[in-house]
Amino acid sequence: MIPELGHFALVLALALAVIQTVFPMLGTFRHVQNWVAVARPAAYGQLFFLSVAYACLTYSFIVSDFSVLYVAQNSNTELPLIYRIVSVWGGHEGSLLLWALTLGMWTVAVALFSHNLPREMAARVISVMGFVSVGFLLFLVITSNPFNRLSSAPANGRDLNPLLQDPGLIMHPPMLYMGYVGFSVVFAFAVTALISGRLDSAWARWSRPWTLIAWVFLTLGITLGSWWAYYELGWGGWWFWDPVENASFMPWLIGTALLHSLAVTEKRNTFKAWTVLLAILAFSLSLLGTFLVRSGVLTSVHAFASDPSRGLFILAFLGVVVGLSLALYAWRAPSIVNSGGFSMVSRESLLLLNNILLVVACASVLLGTLYPLFLDAFNLGKISVGPPYFDNVFMFLMLPLLVLLGVGPLARWKQDNAKQLVWHLRFLLIASFGLGLLVPFFFMGMKGLSVFPGLALAFWITFTSVQSVRERLRHKTNRWQALSTIPRSFYGMTLAHIGVAVFVIGVTVSTAFSTEQDVRLEPHVELDLAGYHFIFEGVESVPGPNYTANRGTITVQQNGELVTVLHPEKRTYLVQTMPMTEADIDVTLFRDIYISLGEPLGGDSGAWSVRIYHKPFIRWIWLGALLMAIGGVLSALDMRYRKLARARQPVTEADSVTATA
Amino acid sequence: MLRAILPLAIFAVLSVFLYIGLQLDPNEKESTLIDKAAPAFNAPQLEDSTKVLNEQAFQGKVSLFNAWASWCVTCRYEHPLLMQLAQQTDIPIYGLNYKDKAADALKVLQRQGNPYIANAFDQNGRIGMDWGVIGTPETFVVDQNGVVRYKHVGPLTVEVLQETVLPLIKRLRETPNANANAANDQPPA
């Protein structure tokens, strides 16, 4: 009964999504106010029914209703309650329902916070989002119904993939989807602006906070995924260039470019066509990611069970959404006029370079991800592109980007002087070089110098960020008071940029100085690594809720004092009998000690192969990403979006270029 | 004008490739190799480059031939399962170390255990091409007459092993005299 109710709610949500798409849009063209007014109630209703469907599926998981195929495939009575609840998004059908629910929430957020938008514009934005929702709900109902029943229910379910039974993974998909789907808002704004032919700085100002929030969620989602892979996959890496990771990274790169070009469009009234294109691309890549993951065209650790009919549906949907919006762009773009000119050396041109580098980076990731597919299509043989390709290309593109990142916020809008700019920054330049050399030399000696490029860049970004705050305070009599008058968005930007510096330090130092050792350990054997003393106490068998584990105990000492006791585990989950490595990690800000249990080496000695890593500064990678996300939140909370939104209402046409700051 | 249409044009080309990609399901079971003699190769062994491994190794027993690389994340995910197979069954597993550096590959084996009897070291991917390897990991079932009977693309899972690979191996072992031509029975898809 409950699953049928969920199915029914899903169909009703689809019907409301159709209404939400058709009537408001037609209403704005035919000037039928009643039709335009349908937009908001339809969005609320759609979210209501999506929530009902989602709740029904969750209920089926909680009570272990194995007559529902999806529940039988992804749950088990032995599974702890919290994992039964999150199992809802553990497979294709349920995660798609989460996608649709997330879209419903974003639409309602737009409906609630768009009262100061022109009525027709809000209606069109909601209508475009409704169109996206129709596609996904049709996909759900036609090819991927999570409420399908089995004719005879099995006694127990197949269980959730043990890899996914982990706290890190509870939050990863919702965050990622919030990011993916969040770009649909900017996309809808862009399409609306193209339809009405009105691309002004007001449009950019409305889009910015939505882009920022979506970008923050995507950043957090990717970071969580990386963190999860680090401790759960058991070999201490944090990024693998897996097709599905790339699928989430591409919208992030374009989203980052979009954030920067929106700033130019808002403040300088230029880059307009480019910004609209980026807004379309960011969401298109989110959809492409969905296609890649769910169609089975590429193989990956994350790939869902593939089904060609599903692939065809998403491809068709991708074609309609992206094709239509790009056609709209092709039609309108030639008539877009940029009013704010700028010279070769200016903040605009630096931001343009930033955009080009980010877009090229995204294109190279796309190429690397799809290259095997291209070759295969041409019958040119079959290959896989490994991390070496991505590492090389990325290094090459990111170095100039990081150098520019330091200069950008200090350059003047419209026109600057290159010589003056360099002269102005000469001390910071020298200090970055000097400290980049001295700091690693001081701590590590000659062999520390391998991290010079990364550290110098990190110092450069930090110094220039601080400098840009200082320049804001120049000529102010009361500097402390002036500090509080700087807009939050400026602090947000500065913090995010410092986050990049922290991230760069983490990547550079952990890559250069991580040490690892594979050892055969018998009980009470001791060894030294990276200045720590390890004592292997032995391995014992421990039962878990739905697995049995071999749990090792390793005491870590430094200078004769106890640092920590670690318990890495080797688990065998009872239902899927899949062996899982659960590493144990001792974390401080400056280093991780990471131990994972290998294989028993046989014999009566109780010997095991054990892998020990010492990873300096690895936390800084995620810390940097976190700072970027916090910076994004700060920017989105900038007072000016609220103030201007309020002030804007009567002067919607006015396209003043007076906004400076 | 051209600039405005360019994104649409690029997307159109991309869509065509994605459409073709859908037809070329990388998990396709219909490999042209199925029920044909294993493609000949002669490669130095990864573990000891003075020895060679060739397709003759498959004669006389039903074996698995697993293409992998140290840079392949999915392979590492699959690795514990191969270790289990090697320890708990008597199915011989041969490896095709695909487009790899010997030092890196040996490090992985030393670190995570070596489930392979021997590895063919396929540095430039020639053997992989002859075998139609799309990407790593891929696993072939080769019968006692050296005939390829099954191909799995992507990581082996408990499910694939229990439902397809292990029953197939059991069946092949029970019919030792089946030759390449007589075998019309398709392996279960």
pLDDT digits (tens, 9 = 90+) for A71-111: 988 888 888 899 999 989 888 889 899 999 999 999 999 99
Strands A561-566 and A547-558: antiparallel
Residues of A in contact with B80 (CB under 8 A): 578-581
- Band (A55; pLDDT cuts 50, 70, 90): very high
Q: Does B129 touch chain A (CB under 8 A)?
A: yes
Residue whose C-alpha is closest to residue A200's, from A113, A268, A280, A101: A268
Return the amino acid letter for A60. Answer: S
The tens digit of pLDDT for each residue in A401-445 reads 999 998 888 888 888 888 888 888 889 999 999 999 988 888 888
When pLDDT is cut at 50, 70 and 90, the band that residue A589 belongs to is very high
| Residue A427: Cβ within 10 Å count | 11
The pLDDT of residue B164 is above 70: yes
CB contact burial B44-80 (16+ within 10 A = b; e otherwise): bbbbeeeebbebebbeeebbbbbbbbbbbbbbbbbbb
ipTM of predicted assembly, 2 dp: 0.73
**Residue B181 pLDDT more than 70?**
no
Point out the residue among B15, B129, B135 whose CB comes nearest to the CB of A372: B135
Dmax (CA) of chain B: 69
Radius of gyration of chain B (CA): 19
Residue B147 resides in a domain: yes
pLDDT given for residue A46 in this prediction: 97
Residues of B in contact with A608 (CB under 8 A): none
Q: Cα–Cα–Cα angle for A398, A404, A406, nearest 5°?
A: 110
Question: Which distant-in-sequence residues (6+ apart) come within 8 Å of B2 by Cβ?
Answer: none
Distance from CA of A443 to the nearest CA of B (A): 29
Give the mean pLDDT of B91-118: 87
Q: What is the pLDDT of residue B76?
A: 77
Q: What percent of chain B clears pLDDT 90, i.e. is strictly above it?
A: 13
Residue A466 in tokens? 């601080």
Boundaries of domain holding B79:
27-174
Distance from CA of A84 to the nearest CA of B (A): 21
- Per-residue pLDDT band at A304 (split at 50, 70, 90): low
- Determine the distance in angstroms separating the CA of B35 from the nearest CA of chain A, rounded to an integer: 21
DSSP-assigned states of every residue in A490-552? HHHHHHHHHHHHHHHHHHHHHHHH-EEEEEEE-TT-EEEETTEEEEEEEEEEEE-SSEEEEEE
Minimum-distance CB partner of B71 among A331, A381, A387: A387
In this complex, the residue of B7, B18, B73 whose CB is nearest that of residue A297 is: B18
Query: Which residues of chain A lie closer than 8 angstroms to B11, CB-CB?
Result: 284, 322-323, 326
Q: Is there a contact between A329 and B25 if contact means CB atoms under 8 Å apart? A: no
Tell if the CB–CB gap between A376 and B21 is shorter than 8 Å. yes
* Domain contains B80: yes
Contact: A609, B136; criterion CB under 8 Å:
no
| Cβ–Cβ under 8 Å, residues A390 and A241 | yes
Most B CBs within 10 Å, among A382, A574, A577, to test the B interface: A382
Average pLDDT, stretch A479-491? 83
Predicted confidence band at A653 (pLDDT cuts at 50, 70, 90)? very low
CB contact set of A392 (below 8 Å; sequence gap of 6+): none
Phi, psi of A491 (to 5 degrees): -60, -40
The pTM of this model reads 0.83
- Which of A308, A382, A611 comes nearest B133 by C-beta? A382
Nearest CA in chain B to A570: B80
Kindly determine whether residue B12 and residue A376, on different chains, have CB atoms separated by under 8 Å. Answer: no
Residues A119-142 have pLDDT tens digits of 899 999 999 999 999 999 999 999
Question: Per-residue pLDDT averaged across A485-505, rounded?
Answer: 92
Q: Which residue of chain B is at minimal alpha-carbon distance from A277? A: B7
Judge: A329–B113 Cβ closer than 8 Å, yes or no: no
- Interface contact B7, partner A, CB < 8 A: yes
> Dihedral (C-alpha) A622, A623, A625, A630: value to the nearest 10 degrees?
140
Nearest CA of chain B to the CA of A355: how many Å? Answer: 16
A508-534 average pLDDT score? 86
Nearest to A575 by CA among A83, A171, A230: A83
Pairing label, strands A561-566, A569-573: unpaired
| Nearest beta carbon to residue A329 from set B7, B133, B136 | B7
Q: List the single residue in B18, B80, B135 with the smallest CB-CB distance to A384.
A: B135
Residue with tokens 């909601």: A126
Backbone dihedral angles phi then psi of residue A344, each to the nearest 5 degrees: -55, -40
Mutate to test the interface with A, among B73, B98, B108 (most CBs of A within 10 A): B73
Whole-number pLDDT of residue B157: 80
Q: Which of A52-61, A69-78, A430-439, A606-615 has the highest mean pLDDT?
A: A52-61
**A432 within 8 A of A460, measured Cβ to Cβ:** yes
Nearest to A373 among B21, B69, B80 (CB): B21
Nearest to A407 by CA among A366, A333, A463, A368: A463
CATH number of the CATH domain containing B144: 3.40.30.10
A660 pLDDT above the threshold of 70:
no
Do the chains contact at B4 and A384, CB–CB below 8 Å? no
H-only helix segments in chain B: 2-23, 73-88, 102-112, 126-131, 158-160, 166-174
pLDDT digits (tens, 9 = 90+) for A525-538: 888 888 899 998 88
Residues of chain A contacting residue B130, judged by C-beta atoms under 8 Å apart: none
Pairing state between β B118-122 and B93-98: parallel
Contacts of residue B75, Cβ cutoff 8 Å, sequence gap at least 6: B68, B69, B136, B137, B155
Query: Which residues, listed in sequence order, are joined to residue A284 by a DSSP beta bridge?
Result: none
Query: Read out DSSP for A487-503?
Result: -HHHHHHHHHHHHHHHH
Query: What pLDDT does residue A661 have?
Result: 34
Using CB atoms, which residue from B76, B113, B129 is nearest to A599? B113
Listed residue (A435, A261, A282, A468) closest to A348, CA to CA? A261
Q: Determine the distance in angstroms separating the CA of B143 from the nearest CA of chain A, rounded to an integer.
A: 25
- Is B5 in Cβ contact with A308 (below 8 Å)? no
> So what's the pLDDT on residue B31?
58
CA distances from B8 to A236, A250, A257, A273, A292 (A): 41, 18, 20, 14, 20
DSSP string, A139-176: HHHHH--TTPBPSS--SS-----GGG-SHHHHHHHHHH
**Between chains, do B135 and A387 touch, taking CB under 8 Å as contact?**
no
Picking from B130, B149, B151, B114, the residue whose alpha carbon sits closest to that of residue B54 is B130
Judged by CB atoms within 8 Å, which residues 18-57 of B form the interface with A? Answer: 18-22, 24-27
Residue A66 has pLDDT above 80, yes or no: yes
Q: In this structure, are residues B69 and B101 in contact, taking their beta carbons and an 8 Å threshold? A: no
Please count the structural domains in chain B: 1
Q: Where are the domains of chain A?
A: 1-165, 425-514+623-661, 515-617
Among the listed residues A219, A21, A205, the one whose alpha carbon sits nearest the alpha carbon of residue A103:
A21
Helix, strand, or coil (residue A305): coil
Q: Are strands B93-98 and B42-44 parallel, antiparallel or unpaired?
A: unpaired
Q: Given an 8 Å threshold on Cβ–Cβ distance, is B27 in contact with A329?
A: no
Report helix, strand or coil for A412: coil
* Domain annotation covers residue B136: yes
Question: b/e for A603-624, b at 16 or more Cβ within 10 A?
Answer: eeeebbbbbbbbbbbbbbbbbb
Q: Do A386 and B153 touch (CB under 8 A)?
A: no
